[in-house]
Amino acid sequence: MSSHVLAGFHAVTARLRHAPATIKELYFDASRRDKRMQALVQQAAAAGVKHHGVAAARLDGLAGRLRHQGVVALAEAAALAVDIDEVLDELEDRKQPALLLLLDGVTDPHNLGACLRTADAAGVHAVIAPRDRAVGLNATVRRVACGAAETVPYIMVTNLARTMRALKERDVWLVGTDDQAEAGLHQVDARRSTGWVMGAEGEGMRRLTRETCDELVKIPMLGSVESLNVSVASAVCLYESVRQRLASSA
């Protein structure tokens, strides 16, 4: 199996924490003796990961154009990101705006599977959901997702509102959908790093999730039904991002 390069503290420590068995070897700047580097080396040793102190030039060669901060890991290429910082670090290195989907309270595996399939089609970099009031990647989800569960990182977090605040600190603009909002979907500038925040059909987003969004918009509803299924609503919003980004690059 080919190797995937992880560069920088966020990406490497996240993989060490969540999936150390996927790391083949870890390389660190042998000249660094600071506490952050010592803690990482100790973490690697405790996880049984092979680690090597090398010269900075060796790290430059391993990382290529990626910003490595003195640490590089070679991991299994098939492994998906397990931490949102890992996703954002890689996007920053590529100077690419993030496109994220945050799901609050989606417990139906068919809905999640459909959301993942839509996310893959729209080029979403990660789907984020809370560990509580959410469904995991079970067999039904994987079947409905039609392979997207293996291509789109599905990151479950302990506290969704806290994760949202962390995303805002990294300049991700969070847009929630609310049928009572004054602004419309097409008024959003979705060319920048954006996280679309969707609530479960019926209940919608929880109060704290709604309050943590940067902006609330509504999807135009011209018929008699009051709302869309969460996977359909996700598709409408995500493809507004796709439309704007394709138009700006034309």
In one letter, which amino acid is 131?
A: R
Work out whether the CA dihedral 103, 106, 107, 111 comes out positive or negative. negative
**Contacts (Cβ under 8 Å, ≥6 apart) of 150:** 80, 142
Q: Give the CATH number of the domain where residue 124 resides.
A: 3.40.1280.10
**Same domain for 115 and 147?**
yes
Q: Give the CATH number of the domain where residue 44 resides.
A: 3.30.1330.30
Query: Which pTM was predicted?
Result: 0.76
**Same domain for 149 and 192?**
yes
228 annotated as belonging to a binding site for a ligand: yes
Listed in sequence order, the DSSP H helices in 123-206 are: 139-145, 160-169
8-state DSSP, 96: -
202 annotated as belonging to a binding site for a ligand: no
Work out whether the CA dihedral 11, 205, 151, 158 comes out positive or negative. positive
Q: Which domain holds residue 186?
A: 86-249
174 annotated as belonging to a binding site for a ligand: no
Using one digit for the tens of pLDDT, what is the confidence trace for 125-176?
Answer: 999 999 988 888 887 898 889 878 878 999 999 999 999 999 999 999 999 9
Tokens matching residue 189 = 């500038």
C-alpha to C-alpha distance for 111 and 114, rounded to whole angstroms: 5
Question: So what's the pLDDT on residue 190?
Answer: 94
**Same domain for 100 and 204?**
yes
**Same domain for 207 and 139?**
yes
Answer yes or no: are the C-beta atoms of 205 and 246 closer than 8 Å. no
**Same domain for 73 and 92?**
no
Lowest mean pLDDT among 54-63, 67-76, 165-174, 197-206: 197-206
Asked which of 22, 51, 79 is the last residue of a domain, the reply is: 79
- Whether the predicted pLDDT of 85 surpasses 60: yes
Per the listing, tokens 């138009």 go with 247
Asked which of 79, 109, 140 is the last residue of a domain, the reply is: 79
Choose between 10 and 208: higher pLDDT.
Answer: 208
Helix (H, G, I), strand (E, B) or coil at 196: strand
How many domains does the chain contain in total?
Answer: 2
